[in-house]
Structure 1
Amino acid sequence: AVRFFYHEIFFFKRRLWRKYELWEWFFSRLFIAIIIYLACQYGFLDYIMNYWFVPALVVGIALGLFFDYLPHRPFKERDRWKNARVYPSPIINLLIMGQNYHLIHHLWPTIPWYKYQPAYRAVKPLLDEKGCDQSLGLLARKSFWNFVYDIFLGIRFHRKSSNRQTESS
């Protein structure tokens, strides 16, 4: 459960709000709290849990896994050729709408998602030359256990390097 609240911690730790975003954050959490309170008071908490929270949890996990975690893991590289990956598969391509070719999006963001697979085939030699990750990479022992850790806890403390690159470079 801790993994799902990390974005809340990150939001405050980095002070990511602008203008009215902090108020928006507060009122959206207040709105959910009021709905839960009313559901408890009027006996429809089971409805809220079954038809709102559980589907939101399932979809949130699926989106987080397939659209964020798997395309970007292991989150160590800042180099544009290595900060995302490709795990080619025509079946997975259909199931997750091209997110398995996410590196193509990072390198050429103007290509629409439904053209990622042909674009990948066209630039595969270049990706090989640059040493880009082109597999899911979960079957290696260390990688698999890192994946299990990330799924259940997922909080990593990144070391600050002395020669840290700025966002503008």
Structure 2
Amino acid sequence: MQEELKDLNKQALGAAINHMGKVAWPTIILTLLVCSLFVLCIAAFANGLISVWLATPLVSVLTYMSYTPLHEAVHGNIHGNKANLRWVNDWCGYLVAPIIGVPFASHKHEHFTHHRFTNIEGKDPDFLISGMRHGLPSVFLTTLRFFYTQNGFFAKNNWHSAQLKERIIYCAELCVSLGWRVLTIALIDQPGIATVVLVGYFFGGFFTAYWFAYRPHFPYDNTQRYQNTSSLIMPIWMRPLEWFWLGQNLHSIHHLFPRVPFYRYHALHRQIEPILRAHGTPILGIWSRAPVKV
């Protein structure tokens, strides 16, 4: 049985390789689109063109969407195998980082630790998000703790071993992330600007924490490679809205093959679904969490 699973794993890797290594133009376009729309949204609200009731959810949506390019940049998926285009990869990360409020240059330390120790309490820095299971007050507090961990992990765990350049970049990113919010609230003379900037950010960050971290790893009781993350399958009526998740409902694909770009998750999932099932990957209804049969 183990030999059969090893052979199936090789087949899955072979399939995944076909989706890796190319320049990720869709991610580059997404980066530019999210950044442009975010600036336009704030500007439109500042000039009274849209209300606080529209601007706040738009900021939330764009905040959520900004994390996917950051996440892709952390894994080096934007420049693919083109080492000379690494600067494009990094600039995409730096551009969206102030929106999601997570420093790009230091996020790789936290995120790679999460990959290395997925679902291991005390080692996986994202394990704290499992606290969302304890009710609504815990959901709020856990989201705030998650923000803090994403921003403070480098200072707590990597500061002393980091080079001066890394420290300067980390501090600069924190200042930009905090600074644009403070300046926007202080300089835009429009009632509700703090709600747009802060409440919009909180709900966008919460949606990211919930769908990127909490739901794919729940119930946090398995550390096996094919079983520590789930694929969450949308019901038919939700398929027209599935694009909004940017593939993150198929988070098992990412943990298995981190160099596959997000817009290839669905294609690869369809290819290797029998292999996933043979390895016991949880393939669940996104709302019911009941196993989805073939």
Aligned to 2:283, the other structure's residue is in SS state: coil
Structure 1 length as normaliser, TM-score?
Answer: 0.61
Match of 2:276 in 1: 127
What is the aligned partner in structure 2 of residue 82 from structure 1?
A: 227
Of the three residues 140, 157, 174, the one matched with 1:16 is 157
- Structure 2 residue runs of 5 or longer lacking an equivalent are 1-139, 290-294
Answering whether residue 151 of structure 2 is matched by residue 6 of structure 1, we say: no
Alpha-carbon shift at residue 46 of structure 1 (Å): 4.6
Give the SS at the match of 1:76. coil
CA drift of 1:77 comes to 1.9
Distance across 1 between alignment mates of 2:250 and 2:201: 25
CA contact (8 A) 1:93 1:99 kept: no
Aligned CA distance change for structure 1 residues 45 and 68 (closer, same or farther; 3 Å): farther
> RMSD of the TM alignment (CA)?
3.5
> What is the distance in 2 between the residues matched to 1:57 and 1:33?
13
| Aligned 1:1-169 pairs, distance under 5 A | 1-7=140-146, 8=148, 11=152, 15-18=156-159, 19=162, 20=167, 31=179, 39=186, 46-89=191-234, 91=239, 93-136=242-285, 138-139=287-288
Residues 45 and 35 (structure 1), Cα distance of their counterparts in 2 relative to 1, 3 Å cut: farther
Question: By how many angstroms is 1:4 displaced?
Answer: 2.5
Gaps of 5+ in 1: 141-169
Give the Cα–Cα distance (whole angstroms) in 1 for the partners of residues 249 and 188 of structure 2: 43
1:74 partner letter: P
Runs (4+) of structure 1 moved beyond 3 Å? 9-12, 21-36, 42-48, 136-140
Distance of aligned partners of 1:123 and 1:30 in 2 relative to their CA distance in 1, 3 Å threshold? closer
- Could you give the per-residue CA deviations for residues 10-56 of structure 1, whole angstroms, max 9, x where no partner exists? 847x92342437856985798589669x85xx996954422211211
Query: CA separation in 2, counterparts of 1:72 and 1:97?
Result: 17
1:69-113, CA deviations, whole angstroms, 9 ceiling, x for partnerless residues? 222222222211111110223725412011111111111222222
Larger RCO: 1 or 2 (CA < 8 Å, sep 6+)? 2
Letter in 1 for 2:215: L
Change (3 A) 1:23 1:126: same
- TM-score scaled to structure 2, two decimals? 0.38
Q: Paired residues, what number?
A: 137
